[in-house]
């Protein structure tokens, strides 16, 4: 007897979010991307549509990364202390479709670079590459509130995705993004209630819900990945059932989380039985990324070019109907 | 919860007068206020006094549609009055209502089907109001049977267990609540349910409190829709909070605002 599959019927879909603005929209991007718009749980094409493929943004820093293991920094040898060259390498050599620039050097503990310096880096990268840009502060609220408005202004009209807005610190960034036509990342600490709350707070300032991406905060494989998975799954189920305050695409910082794991970065010399660290770190990033895809990630921010290439192939396979 | 605003009813003095004088502003203000307060459909009842009931229904529907996009719940015992409204409704319509009498069902079920409207089925028979939960289920079964036979989409059917004033028929509140639960065993998938809420507090001193307490209890029994006064803020807040506690919406500190932004 044939088994009849039960299909879910959803009443709502995830918002579509555009990254970057081309010439005709007042920006200067030579390519733009759209994510989101899904009306089904991930890759269940019989239940609904996934009009846009998840995308991978390559992460770059505006200063030499202090803590990247050799296996990770090797593909970027020679450009790690030059964000513009680094950006060009990602786009030209590794075919990055989006870049995620973290303004690490502005952090008081990592060089305390000035807001003007950060803004000029943003301008230089926008001038050097044509892909859309995600721009992150250093995570120091006080400094970010000085740095990000300058960078937002410098990138006015380019429709960048700026982050992160949090429950405690969202007003300055929201106002800047609103004024300069950017999208915003709303961050919550693996907490669906706060995820919803931050979106409400941001939208209360008149910011359009369609220009918000949710950063649910994830954990890497072995570091709470399943918590993130279940939060994302629950948020997506609520979105599809009609919750407009959770109907945003997800952005997941996979590279940052995966390469913090000791299994990813510990050299083979310290743990010979663990095998070569280059494969370990790479696979840690791949497995974390793939898991996030399966619970609905729309934008993955990743680091290792090889890992990105593998995950891109996985996305191709998943998107085959 | 499908919230149906009850205020555009000729039984209210202001509405009755506005219908008589064809004063659009009163009606349109009530329509806008109810939608802004969270109603997704509006009940439209020309009231008992309207002499030109059909004409009045058409006028009300057109007047409301000039200012809001809400669905309209056409409320009359007369098929011709409801049909007059159905002809001009642009958004989702709801037929309010048929009793469980075969003669009534034979008129209203095909009518709702023809206009792709929702239908409220009252668990009322020829003998009047149902005496207990068992009789309510009996009437509900008759309504379901009629709808299934007519090929009516059961997703569009809402069964009303008949809520009676607590000061007149006190045991009936519990009977109606229990009936809401029992209806769920009558069919698979379970039929949807609706109540005309304000009747429970008719003639009492604490109307708002009794209304919202009953609504919450009915929600816990699985109620799907209610005809209420959405401008009663405490009622709406209680309803939203009950939905939260029933795990229908995800909590956040601003959950009341979040619901309203839906």
Note the pLDDT tens digit of each residue in A78-92: 999 999 999 999 999
Question: Are A35 and A19 within 8 A, CB to CB?
Answer: yes
Q: In this structure, what token pair is assigned to residue B238?
A: 């209680």
Cα B124 to Cα B105: distance, rounded to the nearest angstrom: 11
Q: Which two tokens stand for residue A13?
A: 């879909």
Name the residue among A192, A234, A245 with its Cβ closest to that of B258: A245
Report the interhelical angle of A115-128 vs A141-154 (nearest 10°).
Answer: 40
Q: Do B250 and A242 touch (CB under 8 A)?
A: no
* pLDDT at res. A6: 83
pLDDT digits (tens, 9 = 90+) for B62-99: 999 999 999 999 999 999 999 999 999 999 999 999 99
Q: What is the mean pLDDT of residues B4-27?
A: 96
CATH number at residue B232: 3.20.20.20
Q: What is the 3-state secondary structure (H, E, C) of B37-88?
A: CCCCEEEEECCCCCCCHHHHHHHHHHHHHCCCCCEEEEECCCHHHHHHHHHH
Which residues of chain B have a CB within 8 Å of the CB of A210? Answer: none
Interchain proximity A193–B250, CB inside 8 Å: yes
pLDDT at B261: 76
Strands (E), chain A: 16-19, 33-36, 55-61, 98-102, 133-136, 161-165, 183-187, 212-215, 250-253, 297-302
pLDDT digits over B208-228, tens only?
999 999 999 999 999 999 999
- B92-127 burial, b at 16+ Cβ within 10 Å, e below that, comes to bbbbbbbbbbeebbebbbebbbebebbbbbbbbbee
Q: State the CB neighbour count (10 A cutoff) for residue A243.
A: 21
- On whether the CB atoms of residues B124 and B130 are closer than 8 A, the answer is yes
SS3 B261: coil
Decide which of B188 and A303 is more confident: A303
Q: How many domains does chain B have?
A: 1
Query: Which residues of chain B does A245 touch, with a Cβ-Cβ cutoff of 8 Å?
Result: 252, 258, 261
Would an 8 Å CB–CB cutoff place A193 in contact with chain B?
yes
Domain A47-319's class? alpha beta
CA angle B210, B215, B220 (to 5 degrees): 130
- How is residue B120 written in tokens? 């409220």
pLDDT higher than threshold 80 for residue A39: yes
Give how far the C-alpha of residue B36 lies from the chain's centroid of Cα atoms, to the nearest Å.
18
CA distances from A99 to A89, A153, A154, A219, B134 (A): 11, 18, 17, 21, 66
Chain B touched by A246 (CB under 8 Å): yes
Nearest in space to B219 (alpha carbons), one of B244, B198, B200: B244
Question: A18-32, A108-122, A208-222, B248-262: which has the minimum mean pLDDT?
Answer: B248-262
Tell me: pLDDT of B14 over 80.
yes
CA distance B216 to B213: 5
- 3-state SS assignment for residue B200: helix
CB B11 within 8 A of CB B47: yes
Kindly tell me the sign of the dihedral angle through the C-alpha atoms of B53, B59, B62, B63. Answer: negative
Structure confidence at residue B262 (pLDDT): 66
Chain A interface disruption, residue of B1, B252, B257, most A CBs within 10 A: B252
Tell me, rounded to whole angstroms, the distance of Cα A276 from its chain centroid: 28
Chain A CB within 8 Å of residue B247 CB? no
- Choose, out of A11, A191, A197, A203, the residue to mutate when testing the contact with B (most B CBs < 10 Å): A197
A234 to chain B nearest CA, in Å?
A: 9
What is the pLDDT at residue A89?
98
Helix (H, G, I), strand (E, B) or coil at A113: coil
Chain A: give the shortest CA distance to residue B112, in Å. Answer: 23
Q: pTM of this prediction? A: 0.89
At A151, list the tokens: 């960078």
User: Which chain B residues have a beta carbon less than 8 Å from that of A193?
Assistant: 250-253
B244 touches chain A (CB under 8 A): no
Question: Is cis: bond before A187, omega within 30 of 0?
Answer: no
**Residue A1's pLDDT is what?**
72
**CA B163 – CA A43 distance, rounded (Å):** 46
Phi-psi region of B129 (alpha: psi -120 to 50; beta: other; left: phi over 0): beta
Q: Is the pLDDT of residue A246 over 70?
A: yes
pLDDT at residue B127 greater than cutoff 90 = no
Name the burial class of residue A197, with classes exposed (0-12), middle (13-18) and buried (19+) by CB atoms within 10 angstroms of its CB.
buried
- CB-based contact, B155 to chain A, within 8 Å: no
**Domain span holding position B63:** 2-260
A237 vs B contacts (CB less than 8 Å)? none
């Amino acid at each position: 007897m044939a088994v009849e599959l039960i299909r879910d019927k959803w009443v709502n879909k995830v918002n579509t979010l555009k990254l970057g603005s081309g010439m005709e929209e007042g920006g200067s991007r030579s390519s733009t991307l759209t994510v989101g718009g899904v009306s089904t749980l991930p890759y269940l094409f019989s239940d609904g549509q996934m009009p846009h493929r998840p995308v991978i943004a390559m992460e770059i820093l505006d200063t030499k990364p202090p803590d990247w293991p050799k296996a990770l920094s090797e593909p970027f040898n020679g450009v790690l202390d030059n964000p513009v060259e680094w950006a060009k390498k990602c786009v030209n050599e590794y075919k990055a479709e989006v870049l995620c620039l973290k303004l690490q050097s502005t952090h008081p503990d990592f060089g305390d670079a000035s807001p003007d310096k950060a803004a000029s880096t943003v301008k230089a990268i926008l001038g050097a590459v044509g892909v859309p840009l995600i721009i992150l502060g250093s995570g120091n609220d006080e400094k970010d509130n000085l740095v990000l408005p300058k960078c937002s202004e410098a990138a006015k009209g380019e429709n960048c995705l700026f982050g992160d807005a949090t429950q405690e610190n969202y007003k300055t960034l929201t106002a800047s993004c609103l004024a300069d036509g950017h999208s915003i990342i709303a961050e919550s600490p693996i907490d669906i209630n706060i995820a919803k709350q931050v979106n409400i707070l941001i939208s209360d300032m008149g910011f359009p819900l369609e220009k918000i991406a949710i950063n649910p905060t994830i954990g890497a494989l072995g570091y709470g990945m399943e918590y993130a998975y279940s939060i994302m799954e629950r948020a997506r189920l609520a979105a599809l059932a009609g919750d407009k305050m959770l109907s945003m695409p997800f952005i997941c910082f996979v590279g940052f989380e995966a390469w913090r794991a000791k299994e990813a970065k510990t050299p083979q010399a310290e743990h010979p039985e663990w095998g070569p660290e280059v494969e370990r770190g790479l696979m840690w990033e791949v497995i974390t990324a793939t898991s996030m895809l399966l619970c609905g990630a729309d934008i993955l921010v990743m680091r290792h070019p090889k890992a990105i290439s593998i995950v891109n192939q996985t996305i191709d396979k998943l998107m085959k109907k | 919860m499908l919230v149906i605003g009850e205020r555009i009813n000729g039984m209210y003095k202001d509405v009755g007068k506005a219908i008589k004088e064809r004063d659009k502003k009163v009606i349109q203000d009530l329509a806008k206020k109810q939608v802004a307060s969270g109603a997704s459909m509006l009940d439209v009842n020309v009231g008992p006094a309207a002499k030109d009931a059909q004409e009045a229904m058409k006028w009300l529907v057109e007047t409301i549609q000039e200012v809001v996009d809400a669905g309209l719940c056409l409320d009359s015992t007369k098929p011709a009055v409801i049909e007059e409204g159905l002809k001009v409704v642009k958004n989702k319509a709801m037929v309010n209502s048929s009793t469980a009498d075969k003669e009534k069902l034979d008129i209203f079920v095909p009518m709702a089907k023809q206009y792709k409207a929702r239908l409220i089925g009252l668990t009322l028979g020829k003998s009047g109001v149902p005496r207990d939960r068992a009789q309510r289920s009996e009437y509900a079964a008759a309504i379901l049977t009629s709808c299934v036979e007519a090929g009516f989409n059961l997703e569009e059917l809402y069964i009303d267990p008949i809520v009676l004033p607590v000061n007149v028929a006190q045991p009936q509140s519990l009977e109606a609540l229990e009936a809401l639960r029992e209806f769920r065993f009558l069919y698979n998938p379970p039929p949807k349910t609706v109540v005309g809420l304000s009747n429970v507090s008719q003639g009492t001193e604490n109307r708002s409190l009794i209304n919202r307490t009953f609504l919450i209890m009915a929600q816990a029994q699985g109620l799907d829709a209610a005809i209420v006064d959405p401008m009663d803020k405490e009622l709406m807040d209680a309803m939203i909070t009950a939905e939260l506690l029933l795990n229908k919406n995800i909590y956040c500190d601003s959950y009341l605002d979040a619901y309203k932004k839906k």
